[in-house]
Amino acid sequence: MNRKRGRCTSKSAAATLALLVWAESAQAQNCERFQTLSLEAQSLVLASNDRSDPECTAFLLKNLGDARYEPAARTVVKYLDFEWQKPQLRDDQSHLMWYGDFFPAFQALYSIGEKSSPVIIEYLGSRDFPPLERQRAVMLVVGMGQPRMADLVSRVQAFVVASRAAGDPVIAGRLWRAANEAAAMCGQPACQAALTGPTTK
């Protein structure tokens, strides 16, 4: 009797797994309907901020990032809080995780590159963010590409310049906090000096 129960349980588990695999495959095919849209149209779909279908939201963010579609950066940045893990990594304990594996917009903006940095900085000044969300965005600006020391200093300066240029003291304060976090992430005296030194930007 126990053996029969064991076989039934095993079959039930296998059936459940098969259904999950089928559902993911069907969902992926459903999302692929967006592939026929232009990049501009895909960006407009995201601009609606409809997050009811996480799989397709992630699909669109990946497409725009893979295409390095710079005009979409202002839309993509609003999804930095959107969390979705890549299906192939959900049970992979050997993979070295990074934020792009869990936050598709993070990966998309990283792929778009340094030209998305001004949009991210502007976004950080737009409202108060939970500390971890803010730090991820600051890290994205600081770590874009393979920065040299001069790049790191320049990126800290970009936060400082934005803070000084802000007409609203609340926005200035948010960006100043981000500038200090950027300097701390850099961890070098030159970045700390950039917080108080003159800027030419």
In a domain, 23, yes or no: no
pLDDT given for residue 76 in this prediction:
97
In a domain, 119, yes or no: yes
Tell me: pLDDT of 25 over 50: no
In a domain, 197, yes or no: yes
In a domain, 102, yes or no: no
In a domain, 196, yes or no: yes
Segment 159-180, tens digit of pLDDT: 999 999 999 999 999 999 999 9
Closest of 34, 39, 38 to residue 70, by C-alpha? 39
Q: Which domain holds residue 137?
A: 114-201
In a domain, 184, yes or no: yes
Closest of 72, 61, 68 to residue 101, by C-alpha? 61
> Pick the residue with more confidence: 24 or 105?
105
Q: Secondary structure of the chain: what % helix, strand, coil (to 5)? A: 75, 0, 25
Tell me: pLDDT of 80 over 70: yes
pLDDT given for residue 100 in this prediction:
79
pLDDT given for residue 30 in this prediction:
86
Rounded to the nearest 5°, which phi and psi values hold at 47? -65, -20
pLDDT confidence bin for 156, thresholds 50/70/90:
very high
Domains held by the chain: number = 1
Average pLDDT on 69-97 reads 76
